[in-house]
Amino acid sequence: MAEPVEFRSEDGSLMKLLKYDDRYYVTHFVGNVKDHLAAIDAMDVREDDTFIMAYPKSGTHWAFTLAFMLRTGETAYRGSPTFLDYTDMETIDKLPSPRVFATHIAFELMPKQVKEGKGKVVAIFRNPKDVISSLYAFLKKVDHKDFFRCHNTWEGLLEFYIEGKIYYGSWFEYMKNWDKVRREHKGNNVMYFIYEDLIQDLRSQVQRLALFLGVSFETEFLDTVTKRCTFRNMATEATKTFTPSEQWKEFTKDKTLPIYRKGEVGDWKNNFTVAQNEHFDRVYNEKMKNSSFDFRFE
């Protein structure tokens, strides 16, 4: 069973999480965590299932929208994906195909059939400074005692982040686990996206994703998907045209989908002090020195 835990930073910021098997989860994870993870492990995966995997605030919704358009051949915005983490298995099993899921859990906790090569996994990663800056902005929009239970200053949140006392645990451990997947996973059902690459050349990444998913469309359709899914359009048109679920309306202060903001590479500079940045760089260089992943920070 998951154990509720609380952390206090030096400046008094509060972080409330669930802890199970030495991992941290959000308080609204389904059930007691243990049983739901067992249900995810035993999930009946369909051949055309797609799973978007990302550490929080790394481009989950962006990758979902791209994958959903390519899976369905439709260019309508769909809002939020169905998260394995927050959806009971009975609901998941009843969803019509093609199903596009999202999750923040580690690959080793994914359905057994996925780890055996069934379905498609799209893993997206973002430089860690922009991740925490985006999370900070996101949390300021959330206002619900049963959602992300915390009260954080920037200094407090950054402290939790560096120490790994945060939702889904350490970003560095998350990346370490993906390095292991890269080395050991034998299937050909995992594709890797870098968030900054989507910003730099979205069209080529749309082409890559279409090939990976095994879907075939005319150039015109891929061009349309690219145009619809530029971050600027996602942040303006998609937000205006999509009606958020009742859950999001309940959890946010302005009753809108609080996902898309700037989508800029290097926005972290608006939050990090010189001293904080130097400290983070020391931690990053130490923990990522043997990683197969490389990130751009501006």
Which parts of the chain fold into alpha helices (H)?
A: 34-41, 60-72, 89-94, 112-115, 128-139, 154-163, 171-184, 195-200, 202-213, 219-228, 231-233, 239-241, 246-251, 274-287
Give the pLDDT confidence of 64-92 residue by residue, as tens digits. 999 999 999 999 888 788 999 999 999 99
d(CA 63, CA 73): 15
Most confident residue range from 72-86, 110-124, 127-141: 110-124
Nearest one of 207, 254, 263, 194 to 232, comparing CA atoms? 263
Residue extents of the structural domains in the chain? 3-287
Fold classified for 3-287: Rossmann fold (3.40.50)
Active site residues: 104
Tokens 């239970």 correspond to what residue? 149
Give me 197's structure tokens: 């690459």
Q: What is the pLDDT of residue 27?
A: 87
pTM, 2 dp = 0.92
Closest CA to 4 of 278, 247, 15: 15
pLDDT band at 146 (very low <50, low <70, confident <90, very high): very low
